[in-house]
Amino acid sequence: MLALRVNRIAGGPSTTGLALDYRGPVEWRAEAESGPPPAPHRLVDDADALLARVPFGPARAPFLVAQTRSLRTVARRLAGEVLPLAEYTRRCLGIDPEWVPETVFEEAHALLDHALPRAAVPLARRLADWQRAHTLGEPARLPELVGRAVAETRARTDAIVPLPDDEIVDCQPVPNAPFLAAGRYAGGLRSTIFVNADTPFNLADLLYVVAHEGHPGHIAEALLKEIHLGDRPELGVSFLLSPPFVLSEGFGLHAQRLVFPDDEAQRWLTDHVLAEQGIRPDGSDFAAVHHAKNLLWGVWANATHLAAEGRPAADVAAYLTRWALLDDTDVDRAMAVVNTPGGNPYVFTYYHGWRLLDGWLDGRGRVRRFLTTRLLPADLR
């Protein structure tokens, strides 16, 4: 109820970075949304009361405490408390959003220089040309292609941790979506991967996106934890601005390489998707490009710091252009994410979550553990 009430007055991701994925009883949501909106300071008191007495053992308490502290922090911001972005992020996400050295981005640029087709043009232009060369020419076919990718990623995930045979995953294009793709488990073994209907889709990213949003990423995580952790109401209340999602987004960025090691993703795409689309091999290295993309999420994190410091929007945009290699359209989209009032802590989940899991995910046993138990960033450290 606390999560539903905070979510009601928070204004959505565009203002606080908050979003709530709720799969609980509809009557609870109806109760939370009835009557006048709750006062933020009352929600702070409610959170304090919950934290004062947590009647659960170590298997459940850490997750519930982490979620409740995050809810309390957001409620305090809604009540008027102003915290520096780094401190707000620590209280919500349980991580220190450290500045990412530009040497990391130089490493990513070097990877791209070797991974992309050679051309006598700037690196950003080479990346844009590579993306255009792999763009799906018939957008209406995207749900079908996503379905093929889901079947393959499910089979490979099932070899690591068994999945139910009767799981259903569909694909739904969404006009004017504020995201490229999003995977949601709805309960009852049914899930949807939502894709932006208005953005050209790079087929070289098909498995990178589907593995992140589906299997072994977000959908598989929600499904398998529901199966392995039993009948716990809190599994149906996912408050995104909280420590578990640092690991969820970080795991999503690792997801493709966990089930498609080395160049297996590129070989599968070449054999099953690209050839029939008339896209010929060009000597590029998809795995290296995707590793570079993961590194470049750090640019978004740094740009969020710059925006929160009050740097001019033109300076933040220039930083994104230089280091993330974004064109004007993509910079505009990125600015809408990083340049939110007070800063958007959720941006930090991607790079810092990916870095936190890098090295920890050293075998199938760790993958199974992540997908079937509750973990927090502090557990990995």
Q: Which two tokens stand for residue 111?
A: 């990877």
- Calculate what percentage of the chain has a pLDDT beyond 70: 98
CA distance 107 to 347: 21
Which of 370, 208, 379, 215 lies closest to 297, judged by CA? 208
Beta strands in 232-289 (DSSP E): 237-239
Task: Report angle CA 157, 203, 316 to the nearest 5 degrees.
Answer: 100
Q: Is the pTM of this model over 0.85?
A: yes
pLDDT tens, position by position, 170-225:
999 999 888 899 999 999 999 999 999 999 999 999 999 999 999 999 999 999 99
Q: 232 falls in which pLDDT band (50, 70, 90)?
A: confident
Looking at residue 343, what is its pLDDT? Answer: 85
pLDDT tens, position by position, 310-328:
999 999 999 999 999 999 9
Longest dimension (CA), the chain: 64
- 30: exposed, middle or buried (C-beta count within 10 Å: 0-12, 13-18, 19+)? exposed
C-alpha distance from residue 94 to each of 46, 57, 65, 169, 372 (Å): 21, 21, 12, 32, 21
Mean pLDDT of the chain: 94
Q: 18 falls in which pLDDT band (50, 70, 90)?
A: very low
Asked whether the predicted pLDDT for residue 250 surpasses 60, the reply is: yes
Strand partners, 184: 192
> Between these two residues, 125 and 21, which has the higher pLDDT value?
125
Which of 56, 94, 36, 39 lies closest to 242, judged by CA? 94
Q: Hey, how many other C-beta atoms are within 10 angstroms of the C-beta on 349?
A: 31
- The single residue listed with the structure tokens 């209280």 is 91
Question: Across residues 230-250, what is the average pLDDT?
Answer: 91
Count of residues making up the chain? 381
CA distance 303 to 255: 25
> Between these two residues, 161 and 329, which has the higher pLDDT value?
161
Looking at residue 16, what is its pLDDT? Answer: 39
Residue 239, classed as helix, strand or coil, is strand
What residue type is assigned to position 84 of the chain?
P
What are the domain boundaries of the chain?
1-82, 85-380
Asked whether the predicted pLDDT for residue 231 surpasses 90, the reply is: no
What residue type is assigned to position 334 of the chain?
A
Neighbouring residues of 231: CB distance < 8 A, sequence distance ≥ 6: none
Can you give the three-state secondary structure of 136-159, one letter per residue? Answer: CCCHHHHHHHHHHHHHHHHHHHHC
Asked whether the predicted pLDDT for residue 11 surpasses 80, the reply is: no
Looking at residue 308, what is its pLDDT? Answer: 95
Q: Which two tokens stand for residue 77?
A: 């911001």
Question: Across residues 41-46, what is the average pLDDT?
Answer: 97
Looking at residue 342, what is its pLDDT? Answer: 82
Neighbouring residues of 373: CB distance < 8 A, sequence distance ≥ 6: 225, 228, 229
Chain centroid to CA 123:
26
pLDDT tens, position by position, 125-157:
999 999 999 999 999 999 999 999 999 999 999
Is the separation of the CB atoms in 153 and 141 below 8 Å?
no
CA distance 374 to 349: 17
Is the separation of the CB atoms in 378 and 94 below 8 Å?
yes
Asked whether the predicted pLDDT for residue 9 surpasses 70, the reply is: yes
Q: 12 falls in which pLDDT band (50, 70, 90)?
A: low
